[in-house]
Amino acid sequence: MKALIAYGTRYGATTGTSEEIAKILREEGFDIKIVNLKEEKIKDISEYDLIIVGSSMGNCRYASEAEDFLKNFRKEFEGKKLALFVSTMITFFEREGKIDDVTKTRKISLEDRVAKYNLKPIALGFFGGVIDYNKMGFIARKGMEIFKPQLEKDGFKVAEGIYDLRNWDEIRNWAKELSRKAGQ
């Protein structure tokens, strides 16, 4: 089965998550192509059986390239198996017990996109992302400074200004379940 992972990222979390999903799907027998939509434009998806669209979430917004991909190919998705995933601050909210924030973020990042483009995905992935203070502009960095003490209190380790909020086991399990749902 041929699959495409098309994604948009801000700080690289979605790249790493896409690569891990691809690794698992390859182990399950899929022929995978991964595309960073910022670097490569997709003109045709007809050769793919499974399309996976990933996006980072910043200020409750998709990466523009991933949003454009959903908008441009929404009709072509009708004959495909489709999955969506996002990289968010979800694990931070979960550790803080902020269930309302988790629910709101999931709705905005996944459920609203499904409704907006009338999609019928077989899987929705809701994963932690990366907070990379090195890649943020001055204003964003200052705005995010308030999270640093809480991130460290919640057990997230910093390495050179980067907090990785991903749960790799959750991502791998999602990819294995996706393989099963896609029928591979």
pLDDT in tens, the chain (184 residues): 999 999 999 878 899 999 999 999 999 999 999 999 999 999 999 999 999 999 998 777 888 999 999 999 999 999 899 999 999 877 677 777 778 888 888 898 899 999 999 999 999 999 988 877 787 788 877 777 877 777 777 777 777 877 788 899 999 999 999 999 998 5
Q: What angle, 0 to 180 degrees and rounded to 10, lies between the N-to-C axes of helices 168-182 and 13-27?
A: 50
114 assigned to some structural domain: yes
Give domain status of residue 144, yes or no: no
Task: Residue 32: give the domain boundaries.
Answer: 2-129+166-182
Q: Is residue 63 part of a domain?
A: yes
Q: Is residue 139 in a domain?
A: no
Report the alpha-carbon distance of residue 123 to residue 159 in Å, rounded: 32
Q: What CATH code is carried by the domain that includes residue 65?
A: 3.40.50.360
Consecutive H or E run containing 163: strand 162-164
Enter the tokens of residue 117: 């483009």
Residue 135 within any structural domain of the chain: no
The answer to whether position 84 is within a domain reads: yes
Q: Is residue 67 part of a domain?
A: yes
Task: Identify the pLDDT of residue 165.
Answer: 83
**In total, how many domains does the chain have?**
1
Q: What is the per-residue pLDDT for 184?
A: 55
Q: According to the model, what pLDDT value does residue 154 have?
A: 74
Q: Quick one: which of 23, 103, 36 has its CA closest to 66?
A: 36
List the structure tokens of 89: 């601050």
In a domain, 11, yes or no: yes
